Amino acid sequence: MNKVVLVTGANSGVGLALCERLLGEDPGLQLCLACRNMCRAQAARAALLASHPGAQVGLLQLDTSSVTSVLNAAKEVKLRYSQLDYLYLNAGIMPNPQFDVKAFFKGVFSRNVVHMLATGEGILKQKDGITADGMQEVFATNLFGHFLLVRELESLLCQAGRSSQVIWTSSINAQQSAFSLEDVQHRQGCQPYSSSKYATDLLSVALNTHLNSQGLYSSVICPGFVMTKLTYAILPAFPDFLWSLVMPLFWFIRIFTNTFTLTPYNGAEALLWLFHQKPESLDPYSKYHSLTSGRGANRIQPRKMDVDEDLSQALYVKLLELEHGVRKRRGTE
């Protein structure tokens, strides 16, 4: 059978670039764009079909911040497909970012400039919101919604005689210092994005521990520093003339650090690379980084994640408990 691939957050940025590249590599695959905004999803589908006529591109409404949306989407996926070969968990948000302009210009002329620009450390803080289900919005969107989706789709992902891949889009901003097992939703902190991405790394390790024996393999990638809508939203007050100064700086920095991939096409390199790998051969403790050289050549590099197996298992248990509570309140368990 043709491979079945589902990508969340597929209507723009790295997600859309991945879909374009996947169809270029394997025109016969069945591709499903799982998106919150269906108008944008339809536009993305039209663009993909314009460049790949005859491709099998389906749409699925999915808002990972909503338990109801995740459960409904999973039910629809199980009606459409008898298997799922690749599940790309790419959707994510960084809401209401606050940018410290003074700290930015101070950091630009420091020796930590590359780390600051790549991670946002010291210059970015976010104000989180609350979902209709009473969860922290970043936690629900970036982590729990995806966790619940995996749980709901296990029957398609874990099938005898075949393997499947769950591939998470993490971040270089995944910082252990931002995460607390006692506050997994990051209600008390001001770095919910960083916390959710570190939790993503932990959860990937836990999924491998529990589901490798059933044929499911989980991997984590970092797209590098990419200029997407999420990135531009961080600096909403920047006038055009300032961007004209900042962008050449980014291109210059890429000469010294390959993490500045800058374009969604480049950022999708590691996601595409994993599409061609035998999942059994991958290191569950590595994060696969998209890198772009100063001359624009793309490559991937595995880097060991700063994760602890005991902590990953403890997070997994907490997420199962949260799932149990959600289902109990809904009367579905």
Render pLDDT for 149-178 as a digit per residue (tens, 0 to 9): 999 999 999 999 999 999 999 998 899 999
Q: What integer pLDDT is reported at residue 101 of this predicted model?
A: 62
Q: What integer pLDDT is reported at residue 247 of this predicted model?
A: 72
Q: What integer pLDDT is reported at residue 105 of this predicted model?
A: 66
Can you list the positions of beta strands (E) in the chain?
4-8, 30-35, 56-61, 86-89, 97-99, 124-126, 164-169, 216-222, 286-292, 298-304
Our answer to whether residue 193 is catalytic in this structure is yes
Quote the pTM value: 0.89
Distance, C-alpha 220 to centroid of its chain:
8
Q: What integer pLDDT is reported at residue 77 of this predicted model?
A: 98
Q: What integer pLDDT is reported at residue 234 of this predicted model?
A: 59
Average per-residue pLDDT in the chain?
Answer: 90
Q: pLDDT tens digits for the chain (333 residues)?
A: 789 999 999 999 999 999 999 999 999 999 999 999 999 999 999 999 999 999 999 999 999 999 999 999 999 999 999 999 999 999 999 876 666 666 666 766 676 666 656 555 566 666 789 999 999 999 999 999 999 999 999 999 999 999 999 999 999 889 999 999 999 999 998 889 999 999 999 999 999 999 999 999 999 999 998 877 666 665 555 666 666 677 777 777 777 788 889 899 999 999 999 999 999 999 999 999 999 998 889 999 999 999 999 999 999 999 999 999 999 998 866
Which residue among 81, 86, 88, 193 is the active-site one? 193
Q: What integer pLDDT is reported at residue 249 of this predicted model?
A: 73
CA distance 317 to 326: 14
Coil, helix or strand at residue 298: strand
Sheet holding 286-292, edge to edge: 56-61, 30-35, 4-8, 86-89, 164-169, 216-222, 286-292, 298-304
